[in-house]
Each structure stands twice: as C-alpha cells, then as structure tokens.
Amino acid sequence: MGINIMAIDATFWVAVSFIIFFGALIYLKIPQKINELLDKMISDIKNEIDESERLRAEAKTLLDNAQNKLNTAQSVRNEILQEVKKDSDNLIIELNDKFHKSSEIKKNIAENKISQMKEAALKEIKDASIKIAVDSVKKIITTSVDRSKLDAVFQKNLDETKEELKKINS
C-alpha cells in the first residue's frame, strides 16, 4: 500500500503542479499577453501589407506619370522632327532657287561680256581696216600714177590687208 500511496501521491502532485502551473499562467494573464502579442504582430503585418499596397499604388502612379511624360516627350520629339524636316525641305528649295537665279545672273553677265568682246573685236577690225585703207591710199598717192605700178601696189596692199585680217581673226 505504501507504493500505491506514493504513486497516488506522485500522480497527485503532478496533477496539482499542473493545475498550479495553468492557474499561475491564467493568474499572470500569460495567454492574454500571448494573444495581445500575436494580435500586435498581426496588426504590424497588416500595417506592413497596407504600407506595401500604398507604396505599390504610389509606384504605379509614378510609373503612369513617367509613361505619360515619355509619351508626351516622344510626341514633342516627333513634332520637332517634322518641323525640322519641313524647314530643311524649305531651305533646300530656297537654296536651289538662289542657285538657279545666281546661275541665270552669271549666264547673263557672261553673255554681256561675250557681246562686249564681240563688239570690241568688230571695232578693232574696222579700225584696222580703216588704217590699212588709209595706208594704201598714202602709198598710192606717194607712188607714181603709172598704171602698172598702181596695179602692183594695189595687189600688194590687198595681200597685206588679207594678212592683217587673218592675224586679227585668229
């Protein structure tokens, strides 16, 4: 019987200590504190989730704004490129017109110079012809009136005149 009482006593004491342990836990409000701690952790996790949702929404807003700015920048770039292309086309047309006008002016100047040179050459030919004629008349007058001499001098002066004209023309 002594062993039985001890077994009961040991079991009894284990049961008593178990009840005392749970009683102390309840008395010290440990389950409530654990529950509060778990609630606080849950609340913190919820707050972090809410914060991450807010940050995600803010990041999406920033991304949308950046995309809008990028689209606006691309459209402005396209407008600028079109304007530059139009300006360059206009500049090319303007330069082409100026080139043709300049070419036309240079052509007219060249034609005028050629015309002036032609007139000067004709004047020189006329002046040379007059000089030759005057010289021929002088020679005729200074020589005798003899018909055979006159024919010879005329032929000689005619040959000289032809030679002078050939020199002037070439």
Q: What does pTM read for this prediction?
A: 0.39
Q: What are phi and psi of 145, to 5 degrees?
A: -85, 10
User: Where exactly are the structural domains of the chain?
Assistant: 2-120
- Say which residues have a Cβ less than 8 Å from residue 31's Cβ, sequence separation at least 6: 25
Average pLDDT, the chain: 84
Question: Higher confidence at residue 75 or residue 150?
Answer: 75
Residues 93-138: pLDDT tens digits? 999 999 899 989 998 998 999 999 988 888 888 888 888 877 877 7
Taking the C-alpha atoms of 13, 15, 19 and 20 in order, what is their torsion angle to the nearest 10 degrees? 10
